[in-house]
């Protein structure tokens, strides 16, 4: 007979093997269930392209705080139908909306208040924007500054301000209604709040589409401007408040219940991530550039502008007074285009793509961006 001690050891060994086998089966099932627009993760020497849903370390994932959008929409629609049965809505913006449309607007506006930090009211602070390694000063929350994106949020997830968030919402609504094909990309995301809002809009206004949201950042601040493409490119790096790790950004998507297989992160400076992304992206409907610098802007335009569909939009978070504006104007000049530039606020602007452009990529290769 086998001694009791050996029976126990054998039993433990069998249990361990069973656990390993079950884990292997589970891993195969998870892999089988994964939805990948293309093969990922991709690891370059200085970049990564990945889906946080599958590729993020699970031990670093925070809890989801918000129910999925459809749960909010159902609750909001029920409230609107009930309250609407007892009142006459005369406001032009709301009177012709169905309860479903009104609920979608409620959800999107709710997300805006959270990502901007406005929801926290007196508990929120306005951070005074300054570049450099020093501690940044704060003041009492200033609604006017937040509206125009002229402060940096303390507790929120984006520094873009209310007007720019409204612009993201409006342009996404436009490309959805007009069936402009293509994905959404943001280059320079900070904490990810604007990309979170874009994903929220897509979820409620275009729920059956497979539009991908590309979230592109170094996740360690801006580049040092060593290429010297513009004198104004120096000094943007070494600002800790602008250096936000990819795990923090991914957790913001998780927090709002908006992380799915159509959220793709590209980690690295844009000169590293744009070439491989250009090989994978088929079309874009909106490009939102927030790279501040001349260098970061040409990295994106020269690799992706030909991917933008006619009727799609380019949003420049940094336009008035930024080297990124000069990069765009030089791009227009050498390609013979004159898009109508539409201001969003005192800092930002956008334009609509009205004609195809044969991008002169040789200029990027030779760093020859002017005539």
Beta carbons of 317 and 160 less than 8 angstroms apart = yes
Contacts of 264 (CB under 8 A, 6+ apart): 37, 40, 49, 50, 51, 212, 213, 214, 215
Q: Which of 27, 96, 157, 166 is catalytic?
A: 166
Q: How far apart are CA 126 and CA 17, in angstroms?
A: 56
**Whether 345 is catalytic:** no
Q: How far apart are CA 44 and CA 276, in angstroms?
A: 9
Contacts of 25 (CB under 8 A, 6+ apart): none
Q: Which two tokens stand for residue 117?
A: 């930090």
Contacts of 4 (CB under 8 A, 6+ apart): none
Cis peptide bond N-terminal to 35, omega within 30: no
Contacts of 125 (CB under 8 A, 6+ apart): 138, 139, 140, 141, 154, 155
Query: Residues in the chain, how many?
Result: 371
Q: How far apart are CA 74 and CA 33, in angstroms?
A: 28
> Which of 360, 365, 352, 358 is closest to 180 using CA atoms?
352
Say if residue 237 is exposed, middle or buried (CB neighbours under 10 Å; 0-12, 13-18, 19+).
buried
Run of H or E including 170:
helix 161-177
Helical ranges in 178-287 per DSSP H: 193-205, 246-255, 270-280
Residues serving a catalytic function are 166
């Amino acid at each position: 007979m086998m001694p009791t001690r050996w029976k126990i050891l054998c039993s433990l060994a069998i249990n361990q093997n069973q656990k390993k086998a079950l884990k292997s089966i589970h891993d195969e099932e998870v892999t089988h269930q994964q939805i990948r627009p293309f093969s990922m993760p991709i690891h370059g020497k200085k970049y990564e392209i990945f889906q946080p849903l599958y590729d993020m370390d699970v031990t670093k994932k925070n809890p989801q705080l918000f129910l999925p959008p459809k749960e909010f929409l159902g609750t909001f629609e029920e409230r609107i139908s009930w309250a609407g049965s007892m009142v006459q809505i005369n406001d032009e913006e709301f009177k012709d909306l169905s309860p479903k449309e009104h609920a979608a607007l409620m959800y999107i506006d709710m997300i805006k208040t959270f990502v901007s930090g406005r929801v926290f009211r007196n508990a929120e602070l306005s951070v005074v924007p300054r570049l450099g390694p020093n501690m940044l000063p704060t003041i009492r929350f200033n609604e006017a500054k937040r509206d125009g994106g002229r402060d940096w949020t303390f507790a929120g997830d984006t520094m873009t301000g209310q007007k720019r968030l409204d612009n993201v919402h409006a342009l996404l609504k436009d490309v959805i209604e007009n069936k402009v094909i293509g994905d959404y990309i943001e280059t320079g995301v900070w904490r990810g709040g604007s990309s979170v809002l874009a994903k929220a809009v897509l979820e409620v206004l275009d729920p059956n589409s497979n539009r991908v949201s590309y979230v592109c950042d170094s996740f360690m601040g801006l580049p040092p401007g060593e290429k010297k493409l513009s004198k104004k490119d120096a000094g943007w790096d070494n600002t800790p408040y602008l250096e936000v790790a990819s795990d923090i950004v991914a957790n913001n998507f998780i927090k709002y219940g908006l992380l799915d297989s159509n959220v793709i992160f590209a980690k690295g400076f844009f000169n590293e991530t744009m070439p491989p992304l250009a090989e994978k992206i088929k079309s874009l409907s909106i490009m939102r550039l927030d790279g501040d610098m001349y260098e970061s802007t040409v990295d994106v335009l020269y690799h992706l502008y030909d991917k933008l569909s006619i009727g799609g939009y380019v949003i420049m978070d940094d336009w008035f007074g930024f080297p990124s504006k000069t990069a765009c104007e030089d791009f227009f000049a050498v390609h013979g285009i004159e898009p109508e530039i539409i201001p969003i606020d005192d800092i930002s602007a956008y334009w609509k793509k009205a004609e195809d452009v044969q991008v002169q990529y040789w200029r990027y290769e030779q760093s020859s961006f002017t005539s």
